[in-house]
Chain A
Amino acid sequence: DQQVKQNSPSLSVQEGRISILNCDYTNSMFDYFLWYKKYPAEGPTFLISISSIKDKNEDGRFTVFLNKSAKHLSLHIVPSQPGDSAVYFCAASEQGGSEKLVFGKGTKLTVNP
């Protein structure tokens, strides 16, 4: 049973446009959500996170939105740059600051010049 789902395996956008990556979860105990970015031959790199007490968190070109009622979060990248091309993983953890992260399968983003 997959508790964190990224239903789009891939996404392609033009440089300068907005990239929107989506993530759905089923476990209502999740209260902290993270996005990681992964380049080939490297480990995942933390990008941005959001607590369930918020519905939006922004860091430069990256914004994460959380809709708890829909159990849905999204990552917006504006404007998209070719260097953003990578695999993006959504991850979640349960209440109490659990150290265990549950990851989605990832979405491969390609930003075309």
Chain B
Amino acid sequence: DSGVTQTPKHLITATGQRVTLRCSPRSGDLSVYWYQQSLDQGLQFLIHYYNGEERAKGNILERFSAQQFPDLHSELNLSSLELGDSALYFCASSVGVGPSYTFGSGTRLTVV
């Protein structure tokens, strides 16, 4: 157990729907990062929050949004889902600002 908790572990939903992925960082970690891993691809950086504020954005689609709450947990919202959004979504956390961080076990999203 890495200490980073992601829920749900698996999610199957239909095209056009909206889902929310949740991440609880390790105790004491202020940074939360979101990555997407599509089939046979490396992890792609989506977004980074530090202590509630957005710090950096990667190639995150406009249909996707995220936030970090006062208790430091984070949610990634994916809307108007398309088949191509099917992927593993990883959350990671660190005490400060990267680059070495601890990953959760991921949420596998399947869009049908």
Contact = CB atoms under 8 A, between A and B. Distances in A.
Contacts of B42: 4, 89, 102-106
B74 interface: no
A59 interface: no
B98 to A, nearest CB: 4
Contacts of A32: 99
A45 to B, nearest CB: 7
A97 B98 contact: yes
A104 to B, nearest CB: 5
B45 A101 contact: yes
Contact of B105 (A43, A93, A104, A106): A43
A49 B100 contact: yes
Interface residues of B, number: 29
A105 B43 CA distance: 7
Interface in B33-66: 33, 35, 40-45, 48, 50, 55-56, 58
A63 to B, nearest CB: 18
Contact of A100 (B2, B58, B106): B58
A46 B92 CA distance: 11
Interface of B: 2, 4, 31, 33, 35, 40-45, 48, 50, 55-56, 58, 90, 92, 94, 97-106
Q: Which 6 A-B pairs have the closest CB atoms?
A: A43-B103, A103-B42, A99-B98, A93-B99, A103-B43, A105-B42
